[in-house]
Amino acid sequence: MGIFDWLRGIRRVRYIDNKELKDRLSRKVLELLVDTKNKRIYHVHPNIGHAETAARVLGIRKDEVTTVNAGHLVSALIEINDGVAKKMLVGTSSLERNAKHTRGQIAVAQKLVDEMINLSLKVGTIKR
């Protein structure tokens, strides 16, 4: 399997759009993976999970994900009800079983997700 096959399905997110809203299914939670080193946010499909998405982004197997190679990848969850972003949770998912983060990485992830939400508000795909 080539790297492009391995990464297929991993989608970078700049703002919340209809694709993300539709993929949440009925769970009302948008799952994201924040790369604090490269300042990127990736959509996590509900059927894949954060740890598997991190492995795909890094081009490794899920069981190879550790704090050393994935500490800069931080999970984020946003609760969205009727198009309104209600709550955000950063740094708590299946990824954190194997990869721990510094307070600085959590803070950067929080800031990047806040910026993404603000851009989504400007674009009008979500509301307060």
**Looking up tokens 């069981």, which residue turns up?**
63
- CB of 95 within 8 A of CB of 89? no
Global pTM reads 0.80
Is 9 a residue whose pLDDT tops 60? no
**Would you give the DSSP letter of residue 78?**
E
- The ranges assigned to domains in the chain are 3-123
Percent of the chain with pLDDT over 90: 33
- CB of 93 within 8 A of CB of 51? yes
SS3 category, 79: strand
Mean pLDDT, range 113-123, rounded to an integer: 89
- CB of 54 within 8 A of CB of 65? yes
pLDDT digits (tens, 9 = 90+) for 37-87: 999 999 888 788 888 999 999 999 989 998 888 999 999 998 888 788 888
Is 12 a residue whose pLDDT tops 80? no
The residue type found at 1 is: M
Computed over every residue of the chain, the mean pLDDT equals 81
pLDDT at 37: 95
Backbone dihedral angles phi then psi of residue 81, each to the nearest 5 degrees: -120, 125
Is 5 a residue whose pLDDT tops 50? no
